[in-house]
Homo-oligomer: A and B are copies of this chain.
Amino acid sequence: MDVLHEAIRERGSVVSDHILKVDNFLNHQVDTQLMTMIGKEFAKRFQGQSVTKVLTLESSGIAPSFMAANTLNVPLVFARKKKALTGSEDVYTSRVYSYTKQELNQVIVSKEYLAEGDRVLIIDDFLAHGNAALGLTEVVEEAGATVVGVGAVIEKAFQEGRMQLEMEGYQVESLARIESLSNGEVTFVDEVVTNK
């Protein structure tokens, strides 16, 4: 997705060999025009698969999945990392370790909003080690629902997230695949030039 590659290159910054900061347009300040294009692209890639719910994880997943759910005309559910106090309800839960934040989070979804028969598209901002996405697939399976696939805005293709998800049989669609963040530079997968 050219417009996303451009945003990453011009408005992102490489913090280290494994950390890309995109809080200019994705996970602190949000470019809602770009998020709209991203949401529509996800919808396009999973159209015809009878998606009934889009599922993401608070907070950074909400903006990029908003227009996907809107375009597919299905509800968006964002999993919580903490149980709400107003909720006495039953929940599905799994546990997710965040390498970036170095903390163990829960993934919590009320049983009211995922049911057997649901066909769920999972969307998140980043796909790296795959832990968040796998945590989300666990709650979907716990509900007896079906994971239609996993969409990520940015994939760190040098980490094992995609492999983990594909091993479980899930379709993975990333809108920008990063091959490397070495030497302070972003290299996308489709830009790798091999000189043999």
Interface residues on A, range: 35 or more
A23–B174 Cα gap in the complex (Å)?
29
The secondary-structure label for the interface of chain A is: mixed
In the assembled complex, A141 has its CB within 8 A of some CB on chain B: no
Specify which chain B residues have a CB less than 8 angstroms from the CB of A44 in the assembled complex: none
- 8 smallest A-B Cβ distances: which pairs? A58-B59, A32-B70, A59-B59, A30-B76, A29-B113, A62-B62, A29-B77, A32-B69
Q: In the bound complex, do residue B76 and residue A63 qualify as a contact, i.e. CB atoms below 8 Å apart?
A: yes
Q: In the complex, which residue of chain B has the Cβ closest to the Cβ of A25?
A: B75
Nearest B residue to A71 by beta-carbon distance? B32
CA distance A66 to B101 in the complex (A): 25
- Cβ of A112 within 8 Å of any chain B Cβ, yes or no, is yes
Interfacial chain B residues near A30, Cβ < 8 Å: 62, 66, 69, 75-78
Q: Which of B28, B73, B76, B80 contacts A84 (CB 8 A)?
A: B28
* Contact flag A101-B84 (CB < 8 Å), given A35-B66, A69-B30, A70-B32: yes
A3 an interface residue at 8 Å Cβ cutoff? no
A residues whose Cβ falls under 8 Å from a Cβ of B: 15, 19, 21, 23-24, 28-33, 35-36, 58-59, 62-63, 66-67, 69-70, 73, 75-78, 80, 84-87, 100-102, 109-110, 112-113
Q: In the complex, what's the smallest C-beta–C-beta distance from A175 to chain B, in angstroms?
A: 18
Whether A28 pairs with B77 at a CB distance below 8 angstroms is yes
CB distance from A69 to the nearest CB of B (A): 5
Question: What distance in Å separates the Cβ of A131 from its nearest Cβ neighbour in chain B?
Answer: 15
The smallest beta-carbon distance between A8 and chain B, in angstroms, is 14
A85 and B59 within 8 A (CB): no
Q: Are A29 and B75 in contact (CB under 8 A)?
A: yes
Docked complex Cα distance between A84 and B87 (Å) = 27
Among A33, A58, A62, the one with the most B-chain Cβ atoms within 10 Å of its Cβ is A62
Residues of B within 8 A of A113 (CB): 23-24, 28-29
